[in-house]
Amino acid sequence: MQRNMYTRITIVLFIIGLMIAVQYNTMQKPAERDTRDIWAIREELAQEKQRHSTLLAEIRSLQEVVGRYEQSEKVNQQAALTETFNRLKLQAGLTEVKGPGVILQVEPAAELIAMGYEIKEISPDLLTQLLNELFKNDATSVSIDGNRVVQTTAIRDINGRTTVNSLPLSSSSFVIYVGTSDFKAAQKMYNSLQASTFIDSFYLDNYKLGIGEPIEHLQIPAFDQPLTNDYLAEVKKGD
């Protein structure tokens, strides 16, 4: 009987010791928590929703293309191919664009020059951040100092000069043309840029960012350089 009692006590003590060990390990290694504030989480959620919306729009566009191909089997397959080709050229930036948009003027801040501040080459990072903000606000086409921005566009520093598509900016003063889908979108972009912190960011770099009123007719040039292609290869006739 005493042996059974000792056995029970041993089991109880073992369970208690195991519980203490688990609790101690939990205190030493607490579960990682998301310490971001609510605004950071909301911003990330908004970005994910934007990506989701973009993917849905692309899916709808591709479904329309499939539908046109199916109909074209009975009508005119060549016309469907031509339409698709022209649409892809437009998306790739190989076509001149005319429509509503906003013009941005970048130039050294005159009052800072008068105060003796040194005006250096504008930062590629600042231009890249502005470009991301423009596309975040539904820009459909952009040109910087006459250079059309496409998927392969790189904004970087080459030998101390800020370049767009490997071409240096013509001067410290240049314009950025921003095309939108319609005039309402241009007005929305104008209001968003006016309320953003980018004006202050440019001023900290001794530059002034001027945001023009939305206009109905804006002409954005086509991309005029060879497109690099690392993944597709031309198929010869008969292959």
Using one digit for the tens of pLDDT, what is the confidence trace for 15-74?
A: 666 666 666 555 555 445 555 567 777 777 777 777 777 777 777 777 776 676 666 555
Write the Ramachandran bin of 86: left for phi over 0, alpha for psi from -120 to 50, otherwise beta.
alpha
Please give the model's pTM, rounded to 2 decimal places.
0.63
Distance between CA atoms of 134 and 139, rounded to whole angstroms? 6
Q: Which residues contact 54 (CB under 8 A, 6 or more apart)?
A: none
pLDDT digits (tens, 9 = 90+) for 95-133: 788 999 999 999 998 887 778 777 788 999 999 999 988
6-38: b (≥16 Cβ within 10 Å) or e: eeeeeeeeeeeeeeeeeeeeeeeeeeeeeeeee
Number of separate helices (H) and strands (E) present in the chain: 7, 9
Radius of gyration over every alpha carbon of the chain, rounded to an integer in angstroms? 29
Look-up: residue for tokens 């929703």? 49
H-type alpha helices, 29-76 = 38-72
> Does the pLDDT at position 136 exceed 60?
yes
pLDDT at 51: 72
Longest CA span, the chain: 100
Query: By three-state DSSP, how is residue 176 classified?
Result: strand
Q: Which residues contact 77 (CB under 8 A, 6 or more apart)?
A: 69
